[in-house]
Structure 1
Amino acid sequence: MMKDREIDNQYINNISSEIWRLFENLRGSVPIEDYNVILLLLSGIKDNVLDAYYVNDSYSIHNAVIKSFAQDFKYSKVIEIYAPIIKFIPGEKLIQVINSFQYFDNSILKEQFQEIFDTLVYKLSEAQGKYTGEYIQPYEITRFIMNLAKIKANDTIYNPFAGLASYATFLDNSNHYYGQEINHKTWALGYLRLLAHNLKDFDYKLEDSLENWNRFGEFDLIVSTPPFNLRANNRNYGRVNFSLESVIIEHSLHQLNYSGELICVFPESFLYKKNRSDFQLKKHLIENNLINTIISLPNSVFKHTAIGTCVVIVNKKKAYKNKVRFIDATSFVNSKTNNRDKLFDDINLFQHIEDGNKKFVQLVDKETIIENDYNLLVSRYFIDDNFKGVRLHEICSFIRGSRSEKDEIGKLVKIRNLKDSIVNFNLDIEEFEDKEIPSTGISKIQQSCLLVALRWRTLKPTYFEYNGEAIYITNDILAFKIDKKIVNINYLINEFNVDYVLNQLEGLRLTGIIPTLRKDDFFQIKVKLPSIEEQKKKYYSFADKYIKSKVQESEFDFNEKKINVEDENSFLRHQIAGSLKNIRGAFDFVKRILDEQVKQQIPDLDNFKADARLETTLSSYINIIDRDLISVNKAVNKAGDKIDLLDLNIEYFDLLLFIKEYAESLKIRAKNLFAVILDLDENAIIEYGISGIQIHGDKDIIRKMFDNIIENAEKHAFTNSINSGNKIKIELQYDFEDDNVQIDISNTGNPIPESLTYNSMIRKGSSSGKNSGDGLGIWFVNEVMKIHKGKFGYTDETGSEGIDGEYVTTMELTFPLIQAL
């Protein structure tokens, strides 16, 4: 079994660190996605294509380097891609980089080159991915799949959608590798990587796998991690809604030899999608014993996506007659530093697979899969319902409701309106305003019933008592009636929150950014059903504990929200200073527009009055505003009124709209001191099937917190010159698995002093730098985040990792999010 990469060698670490510093030389000269040109130059030094000692002429250096690579057979294939990048690098910097290589021991460089090369590729890909969206597949995923493949000598391997040819790096020179990659820069770096690993028998082409699928031979292994967002619909496959996954499987079945195997990483949605073409293919695979294994991977082990992923193994060997091996790998993960930085624990998992540990490995017969309507989602085959109870369909009946009429007015209930409490679960329709009801996707309910959410992490069971006024529910809410003679409503709602039911729900839900439960699966849930009297007793016991826990929680929240206000003056300044700057900036622009544009058309503008009977003119009003702004600014510096953050205006609000409005006000405030860049990643929200992002908080205090961060950048990071290239970037990153959104506010300019630690930044009264203030800025930010049940952190991009783009410091604000459905 393949073990960890040997990267603890001191020389490898030292030389990798030295080369990593060279990337800094390219900062500001070439885009970050082109930094891998250094790996070409390093490869040229290792293979004696370039000689460092003679390079000293900046005038001819570009042509000399390009010509040297073009004359070498191995590198002539890629130099056309790298030549424009080389020409773009200033000659002095190019010389400096190449000459820096002369300090390396070339014999050791050659001996350890593949490890040095791969260490740099992984670090560089991670740095570039934040800005280009291009990520290399995690090493642990690749190693796990190649361990599963059990490659033998002389095996032939086909790798469509090859990326950086990661799978090939686990082969030896007895194997023949055929790979395809459509992106020319990715292909060029992948080609260099194959050279670095000294592979001799490979055919790695720059071409489209779908248009040029290899049909010229049979393979022992076809292995691939295709792009998760690529569609095959627009291509000529003769069928509508035929997924990329199905295309790959059908093609591969024709290209595998009699014992060949296909191993692919797919989005987990492939396992349960029911469009006709995919369903028919899965049915064919199951009934003909072609699927060997399905493995559910942990969420978020791929840095570029939060969607669920799986490994599907298809072969013709029929290793398990009339059975499919299901492997639950979702718990095999190690967190490096945070929830978004997860490492797949593949070595441990592989050992459990080899041992056949039934906790994680199940052989499921074909009949059971057919009973589950060919749903191949791994989690449903690990549900433990081996206890005495009843299925919901035995005690509940589905209420279809009626269709709403066109232009109908009524009370529309959405998921966010449902309750999530075992004591407060009644729907109060008096809280709803009448509104026009959409004509599609809505059901009209005119009887008492239980409502549950089909698209959420909990069912949010809510009881609707019908008193003559109907409600309208969206199609992601299920309405059903229960048999009150044998089921107590309070008891059933409580059971929906008990672990044994939650575990079933977890297994039955369709994974994705928003977990979804199908109606038929909901009615398959099994619940324990003692007598009515025992149900009541159990409910009241749980309700009593629930209420006591909520009381303790409220006391804890109250204590957490208390803020020491001994420094009211400074605190007031930090609350108001940012808003004052926004008002001042906006006012200055209004005056400028009036003076430079409006007065040219209306010379008598200054003398305009709101009413002819008044004496005060427009000019006087402007002077009053100007005077009072100065007065308020002075008052902020001297005020002593007590401020209490418990006096909050908490509400649900659209985060994207809020950020957009803030960015616009920030542009006014910037006054050419810095540019404002906004990246909300709205395509991700659309792709994941939700209509928006909401958070629960006080908009005013969050805005003031943002102002604090901007003010720190203005004081400490930026020079005070106009058009000096300073930038503020506001970027949103979503973690839909944990329902978090991270707001990154980054700046260029001067980095955070190395002596300033996280603990010192959030400590009240701590200050640093020549423009240091009272030390309440970041303390205030941290306090606001705690009040909003969030987290404050920061990244210093100029630390030991270096080169991570032009932004030197990022303040990270992580909020709980609410998905707008």
Structure 2
Amino acid sequence: MKPKTESNMVKMQETNKMEVANNMNIENKLKRILNLFFGMNPRNKFWLLEVLLLAKRGELVICNNEIEADDFILCVVDTSILAVTGGTEKTLQDWKEKGVKAQYAVGRTTAEIKKLFSEIDNAFSERGQSQNKFFAIKQMEPLDLMEIIHILCTLPDDWFQSGVGIFTEEVLSFIARNEGKAGGMFFQPIQVTRLMTRLLGATEGSVYNPYAGLASYGMFLNDKIDYHAQEMSQMYLIARLNLLLHGKDDSHCVQGDSVSEWLGQSFDYIVATPPFHARISDAKHDTMEADFFTKAYNQAKKKVAAIVSGWFCAATGGLSFSIRKTLIEKDLVESVIRLPNNLFFGTNIATYVVILNREKEHKGKVRFVDASECFIRQGINNLLDEKMVISLLQSEDSNHSTIVDKSIFFSNGCSFIPERYIARMLLEAKDGERTIALEHILQPCSRKEIELKEGQHPIVIFPFPELQLSIKSSDIPPKDVNTHVPAYQIDEDCIIVDTRRQPRSVYVKLDGSPAYYMPYYRAFKVDTSIVLPEYLVIQLRQPYMAKQIVDGTGTIVSRGVSVLFMTAKMLLPSLDEQKAAVIRYKEQLLQEMGVHLNELNEKRLKDFEITQRERKHAVGHVLGDIYPAILDVSDFIQLNDSVSKDSIVTRQGDSLEEYVLKIVANVEKVTKMVQHFTDVEKFHSPTPLNVEKSINAYIQKKIAKNYEVVLEYLDEGELIINISEEDLHQVFDNLINNAEKYGFIDKKRYDYKVKITVSSSEDGLKAIIHIRNNGIPASKHFDVNKIFAWGEGHGDGIGCNQVKNIIEHFGGTVNYTEMGNEADGFVCDFEIVLPLTNDINND
């Protein structure tokens, strides 16, 4: 509903801002609200939701000069603010004629809602810098906040009934994106919530939602449901506000620790997204996810639905393992669904939906669904396609879904990883082949730990060339060791497996020379009477093996020799056919490498030709300015008997001194360009670099004037790349300085920010670095298709071209995209992809 009207209200149509608001359509009005509110970095980021609720309830009032004693003040604008912040003369004159000295936006609502607002303001507003705690900038923001209220006044009544819920989700999404990893802890994408409530299937009865966050599950339950939400943090206040905005006035939301203060009564349904892999102090409960299921399966009368991490689904010990085993034994698990990566803000870990049902259809069986591809790419995050997930659940698609007898779980470590079971079901042996578990052909080698001294040592370090399936110990390249490093000695022929990323392996043959491997690798003796070691290495690289081996956390072995690894099954033909398969594999790789090499040489030649033309064009362009200028100066001196440095030499009024200085500057520019012809290919020597530590070091030394540089590190482990830190920091300098100079130009904005987001690729072999900013898009200045072309930009035009040269020199790629659908305004995105390395000399 629109705000109430009363005799002492200012008629909004009399202000210029209101006239503008009336002429916008609803979509543009909502965009304007978001741009105004988040563009000024408000102290209370939830103020907009408070105003929305009051407007929806018809309790938002705008009046002049006087307010009632129990009014809840939202915004105040007086004549001094209008004068300082650009209020028009017409508005000031109108106010003067009407005797208006100040205009108020207030809420006239219930005591309960006013108390809720006060608690929110106290919990989330920064205080001490402004007379009005809602505003970050004392003079400017009240006028903008009042404009937001003016725009809300023009929205139709039916929008407040049907559209305010969607807009609320958009506002919360905007806040969560700006909060980064912290935002991802309380905000859940609407598509995920809708899917979960549909899978829960509650139409009546009671629903308990511990770890409720913003109580988003309650938004999609019908009014017959008795909904109880519980959240430990201050976010429970926003959860209550969220429920009210969605018309869920009868829902219950309380503050409480969902670990120690679990509601004691039984409920028909329980639904939650416990914090992913969050550990708790109680010795009986290793993670909040495991603790949740320990309590939920006893208290739910009908059904339980939860989103959990891969750690819960794959842990080989502790409470996570034992509760999975219990749930299988009691035949409560109805289905497990693998969700796509990158759905949640601030993390890219694998997540899974686990459904428990006391009345499930398939007794003694569990439905597994791999929905990891059910998404639409949106910026750096993925958007869940819930319809695709439901379609997979209802179909007989054996490539993405399977039903497994519960007896199989006990021989697979009670794993809840769908990809493992689906890959196994699809594994069909051809004539002359059989399937065999790795435990029947591998035996873990005894581990003899030693401490390597400073110097060079032959250490197995991945990656190896794809063609290198085996290596003699004497051929292992020595690695520099700068400090004492623990390692294991290789005492017999064995296969070394990288246990930290997607399966990589090499077979090591001892020939009298010592060799070592690092603690995060594993060594296995191979039964060569059954399998050729080189054939085994090839099979471990195949996708069907990777899906069985990787445990949901992105690793192969988490503790000791993983059950997942040893029980994985591979295709095994005869020894003769294995030899033939190895030869075919190498021949195919050589052929692909030859084709790739030819394409690479052609591309380099083409790039070189283009670069030379661009350089010639750029230098010629500057010389085209210099030569006529020199002629002008020469002609002027010859035509004038008396010449001084102050003599005017151009129609624009430049003095001789000024004009000569311009010529000198252009000459220096050409000098730099020509110098760049040779300097551009000079790079520093690469070293193993910890990405997170290097970026943090860069941010600490970066002097940012009117913007903030933040790091969002989404990977759970260390990412090591092989690059010089000087060159990597040069890349950051070029891209961020460009953003500052050409993107952050609106002096009225206080929210400019550069986000550096780091994650690993799905195959675990590459680091992905996104450098995003919320300034003016590059397309406003020039053709973004030429953004990496030398001489195309402003200044000397080498910034982005140098970035491209640096990244490609170190084996990576860089791309630029503009994402107009990004709600948080971070539309400018440089994506840098660099190969990971496993080196021992990192901090």
The two structures have a TM-score, normalised by structure 2, of 0.74
Distance 1:27 1:639, change over 3 A: same
Q: CA deviation at 1:158?
A: 0.7
* Inter-partner Cα distance in structure 1 for 2:228 and 2:134: 33
Output one character per residue of 1:37-96: Cα deviation in whole Å (capped at 9) or x when no partner: 1121122122121223x2567999995449964751552341113445473325434433
Q: Report 1:663-682 matches (<5 A).
A: 667=703, 674=705, 679-681=710-712
Q: Report 1:774-785 matches (<5 A).
A: 774-785=796-807
Q: CA deviation at 1:716?
A: 3.6
Tell me the residue number matched to 1:168: 218
Tell me the residue number matched to 1:281: 323
| Counterpart residue identity of residue 553, structure 2 | G
1:88 and 2:134 equivalent?
yes
Q: Is 1:62–1:91's contact at 8 Å kept on the other side of the alignment?
A: no
Q: Is 2:685–2:723's contact at 8 Å kept on the other side of the alignment?
A: yes
Tell me the residue number matched to 2:834: 815
Distance 1:786 1:572, change over 3 A: farther
1:550 and 2:593 equivalent?
yes
Distance 1:726 1:694, change over 3 A: same
Tell me the residue number matched to 2:623: none
Tell me the residue number matched to 1:147: 198
Q: Is 2:419–2:547's contact at 8 Å kept on the other side of the alignment?
A: yes
1:456 and 2:501 equivalent?
yes
1:227 and 2:275 equivalent?
yes
Q: Is 2:710–2:753's contact at 8 Å kept on the other side of the alignment?
A: no
* Inter-partner Cα distance in structure 1 for 2:439 and 2:274: 43
| Counterpart residue identity of residue 712, structure 1 | N
| Counterpart residue identity of residue 374, structure 1 | C
Q: CA deviation at 1:127?
A: 4.7
Distance 1:241 1:753, change over 3 A: same
1:565 and 2:603 equivalent?
no
Tell me the residue number matched to 1:47: 57
Distance 1:370 1:640, change over 3 A: closer
* Inter-partner Cα distance in structure 2 for 1:73 and 1:726: 34
Tell me the residue number matched to 1:76: 114
Q: Is 2:470–2:509's contact at 8 Å kept on the other side of the alignment?
A: no
Structure 2: segments with no counterpart, 5+ residues: 1-21, 76-104, 126-131, 136-140, 621-664
Q: Report 1:223-302 matches (<5 A).
A: 223-232=271-280, 234-235=281-282, 239-257=283-301, 260-302=302-344
Q: Report 1:48-67 matches (<5 A).
A: 48-52=58-62, 54-55=63-64, 64-65=73-74
Distance 1:347 1:487, change over 3 A: closer
Identity %: 21
Q: Is 1:423–1:543's contact at 8 Å kept on the other side of the alignment?
A: no
Q: CA deviation at 1:179?
A: 0.6
SS of residue paired to 1:201? coil
SS of residue paired to 2:376? strand
* Inter-partner Cα distance in structure 1 for 2:271 and 2:353: 10
Q: Out of 499, 503, 514, which is 2:544 matched to?
A: 503
* Inter-partner Cα distance in structure 2 for 1:780 and 1:74: 59
Structure 1: segments with no counterpart, 5+ residues: 1-10, 574-629, 668-672
Distance 1:166 1:427, change over 3 A: farther
Q: Report 1:374-523 matches (<5 A).
A: 374-382=414-422, 383=424, 384-387=426-429, 388-391=433-436, 393=438, 396-405=441-450, 416-417=461-462, 419-423=464-468, 425-429=470-474, 431-433=477-479, 442-460=487-505, 462-485=506-529, 487-497=531-541, 499=542, 502-516=543-557, 518-523=561-566
Q: Is 2:549–2:556's contact at 8 Å kept on the other side of the alignment?
A: no
Q: Is 2:313–2:320's contact at 8 Å kept on the other side of the alignment?
A: no
Distance 1:228 1:802, change over 3 A: closer
Q: CA deviation at 1:507?
A: 2.0
* Inter-partner Cα distance in structure 2 for 1:663 and 1:48: 47
Q: Is 1:334–1:344's contact at 8 Å kept on the other side of the alignment?
A: yes
| Counterpart residue identity of residue 468, structure 1 | G
* Inter-partner Cα distance in structure 2 for 1:700 and 1:171: 54
Q: CA deviation at 1:263?
A: 0.7
* Inter-partner Cα distance in structure 2 for 1:553 and 1:310: 38
Output one character per residue of 1:362-381: Cα deviation in whole Å (capped at 9) or x when no partner: 22222211222322222221
| Counterpart residue identity of residue 221, structure 1 | Y
Q: Is 1:182–1:207's contact at 8 Å kept on the other side of the alignment?
A: yes
1:734 and 2:759 equivalent?
yes
Tell me the residue number matched to 2:792: 766
* Inter-partner Cα distance in structure 1 for 2:181 and 2:323: 37
Distance 1:801 1:412, change over 3 A: same
Q: Is 2:176–2:184's contact at 8 Å kept on the other side of the alignment?
A: no
Q: Out of 353, 362, 365, which is 2:402 matched to?
A: 362
Tell me the residue number matched to 1:205: 254
Distance 1:179 1:527, change over 3 A: closer
Bigger shift: 158-167 or 428-437? 428-437
* Inter-partner Cα distance in structure 2 for 1:45 and 1:735: 44
Distance 1:452 1:658, change over 3 A: same
Alignment: residue pair count: 716
Distance 1:534 1:263, change over 3 A: closer
Q: CA deviation at 1:801?
A: 6.0
Q: Report 1:275-354 matches (<5 A).
A: 275-317=317-359, 319-336=361-378, 340-354=380-394
* Inter-partner Cα distance in structure 2 for 1:64 and 1:647: 62
* Inter-partner Cα distance in structure 2 for 1:451 and 1:16: 58
Distance 1:81 1:757, change over 3 A: farther
Distance 1:734 1:55, change over 3 A: farther
Distance 1:463 1:301, change over 3 A: same
* Inter-partner Cα distance in structure 2 for 1:718 and 1:123: 20
Distance 1:55 1:15, change over 3 A: farther
* Inter-partner Cα distance in structure 2 for 1:114 and 1:728: 28
SS of residue paired to 2:388? helix
Q: Report 1:771-810 matches (<5 A).
A: 772-787=794-809, 788-793=811-816, 804=825
1:188 and 2:237 equivalent?
yes
CA RMSD of aligned residues (A): 4.2
Q: Is 1:293–1:326's contact at 8 Å kept on the other side of the alignment?
A: yes
Output one character per residue of 1:680-733: Cα deviation in whole Å (capped at 9) or x when no partner: 456x55xx2x3x332244656555444433553565457899xx9998856342
* Inter-partner Cα distance in structure 2 for 1:140 and 1:802: 16
| Counterpart residue identity of residue 76, structure 1 | K
| Counterpart residue identity of residue 377, structure 1 | I
Output one character per residue of 1:490-509: Cα deviation in whole Å (capped at 9) or x when no partner: 44433434x4xx30331232
Output one character per residue of 1:420-475: Cα deviation in whole Å (capped at 9) or x when no partner: 423463155462258599786x4322222222222221323x23222333333234
* Inter-partner Cα distance in structure 2 for 1:727 and 1:173: 42
Q: Report 1:112-127 matches (<5 A).
A: 112-127=163-178
| Counterpart residue identity of residue 512, structure 1 | T
| Counterpart residue identity of residue 118, structure 1 | E
Q: Is 1:731–1:744's contact at 8 Å kept on the other side of the alignment?
A: yes
* Inter-partner Cα distance in structure 1 for 2:428 and 2:157: 64
SS of residue paired to 1:467? coil
Distance 1:123 1:415, change over 3 A: farther
Distance 1:24 1:820, change over 3 A: farther
Distance 1:135 1:736, change over 3 A: farther
Tell me the residue number matched to 2:630: none
Q: CA deviation at 1:389?
A: 2.1
| Counterpart residue identity of residue 109, structure 1 | F
Q: CA deviation at 1:29?
A: 5.1
Q: Is 1:565–1:644's contact at 8 Å kept on the other side of the alignment?
A: no
* Inter-partner Cα distance in structure 2 for 1:570 and 1:711: 25
Tell me the residue number matched to 1:585: none
Distance 1:361 1:77, change over 3 A: farther
* Inter-partner Cα distance in structure 1 for 2:151 and 2:285: 54
* Inter-partner Cα distance in structure 2 for 1:405 and 1:815: 32
Q: Report 1:574-613 matches (<5 A).
A: none
Output one character per residue of 1:286-340: Cα deviation in whole Å (capped at 9) or x when no partner: 1121222222212222232111111112233354322222222223222245xx3
Bigger shift: 22-31 or 292-301? 22-31
SS of residue paired to 1:114? helix
| Counterpart residue identity of residue 543, structure 1 | K
Distance 1:522 1:113, change over 3 A: closer
* Inter-partner Cα distance in structure 1 for 2:835 and 2:599: 18
